[in-house]
Amino acid sequence: MDLALSARDAAFRDEVRRFLDEKLTPKLRATGKLMTSVYADYETTMTWHRALHAKGWVAPAWPVEYGGCDWSVMQHYIFASELSAAGAPPLSPMGVGMCGPVLIGHGTAEQKAFYLPRILSGADFWCQGYSEPGSGSDLASLQMSAVDMGDHFLCNGSKIWTTHANYANRIFNLVRTSKEDIPQRGITFLLIDMETAGVKVEPLVMLSGEHIQNQVFFTDVKVPKANVVGKVGDGWTVAKYLMQFERGGHAYAPGLATRLERIRAMARAERGSDGARLIDDAAFAAKIAAAGVEITGLEFTEHRIMSALSNGEAPGAESSLLKTRGTEISQLLTELALEAAAHYALPYQPHATRPGGPVPGFTAPSDNRTPVGPEHSWPVTAKYLNDRAGSIYAGTNEIQRNIMAKAVLGL
């Protein structure tokens, strides 16, 4: 595995940097720097989405015939690295990163022709209807029903922890179309228009105070049978296909490395009149170094997977490995950031940050209250609280370890 950039890759890196210098506005950079969630707010997300779409880079991993880019695996990694280093806000993964690939892999020609251009342009903003109040990690126990009514399904039930459902105009759902002895059977992958009569969205406010998650209720919702992706009753196959993109569809290491550098900068700042710096504390410096080792190890694992992908190999259980280590290292960084922020982590001031959604009682980012403490401390606590979900969403890390134990160790 050769880690040196070829002349072609170096030229591509320079092209990406020029694009970011031109299109990544100060406001977008500020959002990327002060985010408290894994998601940017809707307005920022769509502003950046449109800029990437205009360049033709909004869905580079898609096949070229559907609007993707003819990039090498290394160029994809370079792109992700440069976005992170520049502080670009992330896009919502629900459309470009999940629903789009599923439609490309399992959708009909009509579904691809209708939905894919709308995902690329941002005309459709998607959310994911998987978890239910009684079905999280044990997703196969889901109970939302879809009864066959001839030319349509009649859907009843609810979905929970639905990110940005308060902005989405479409949702991809797993629903139960029949009850079988094996719970994974009888599940269907269904696309639903959020404007359909009987769909209701209720907010769920996170520990960080942000309204990002929601519960979505479906009461006698009529959904055309043309909205089934794959075969009726075979939605589990489609869902497993999607999870490869949800769990391992992006590179963690570049963003983690950028965050670690910010924590180093925080630790270098003077903490008092005596000029003391946290970075000079041997115990904390060791923690920073250990985190750097973890990130480097993850980066080399990602490079190894890229090398395998370049040779046509499937990622397999590596997607679970990346999700597990990526989210756990992310949580470690939030703990180090809290330590570096010290007493400045105490004030609750979402008005000074860029939350992933509305914060009841605050009008961030236009609130005119003066923030307390240095800028690097403002998002620390909210990011820590928000990131507790990292080891739960997209399948808990315990589930991921079960997958790795079975697929890799044969247990």
Is the overall model pTM greater than 0.85, yes or no?
yes
Q: 125-243 is classed in which CATH architecture?
A: Beta Barrel (2.40)
Structure tokens at 201: 């969205």
Structure tokens at 375: 């800028």
Which one is predicted more confidently, 146 or 135?
146
Question: Strand, helix or coil at 188?
Answer: strand
pLDDT value of residue 247:
46
pLDDT value of residue 267:
92
Domain ranges of the chain: 7-106, 125-243, 250-407
Overall average pLDDT of the 92-97 stretch: 92
For the domain 250-407, what is the CATH superfamily, name and number? Butyryl-CoA Dehydrogenase, subunit A, domain 3 (1.20.140.10)
pLDDT value of residue 248:
47
Q: Is 340 left (phi over 0), alpha (psi -120 to 50) or beta?
A: alpha
Overall average pLDDT of the 299-328 stretch: 75
249 has a pLDDT exceeding 60:
no
Question: Strand, helix or coil at 218?
Answer: strand
CA distances from 287 to 46, 133, 217, 340 (A): 37, 38, 45, 11
Pick the CATH number of 7-106 from 1.10.540.10, 1.10.3210.10, 1.20.1250.20, 2.30.130.40: 1.10.540.10
Residue 317 pLDDT level (bands cut at 50, 70, 90): confident
CA 94 to chain centre: 8
* Separation between Cα atoms, residue 312 and residue 306, nearest integer Å: 10
Structure tokens at 308: 């395998």
* Structural contact between residues 278 and 287, judged by C-beta atoms closer than 8 angstroms: no
